[in-house]
Amino acid sequence: MRAFLAVDVDEVLVDKITEVQKQLAEAEAQVKFVEPENLHFTFKFFGDISREKADEIIGMIEGKMKEYEPFEISIKNTGVFPHMGYMRVIWLGVEDAEPFSQMQMGFDEDFVKMGFKKERSYIPHLTIGRVKGAHNKDALVAAINELEDVEIGKMIVKKIVLKQSELTPVGPVYTDVKEFKL
- Determine contact, residues 68/107, Cβ cutoff 8 Å: no
Q: Which of 3, 34, 39, 40 is catalytic?
A: 40
Angle between helices 137-146 and 11-25 (to 10 degrees): 140
Cα of 124 vs its chain's centroid, Å: 7
Active site residue 40: yes
CB 129 within 8 A of CB 21: yes
Task: Confirm if 45 and 107 have CB atoms less than 8 A apart.
Answer: no
Annotated active-site residue in 94, 125, 129, 150: 125
Give the burial class of 156: count Cβ atoms within 10 A of its Cβ; 0-12 exposed, 13-18 middle, 19 or more buried: exposed
Q: Residues with catalytic annotation?
A: 40, 125
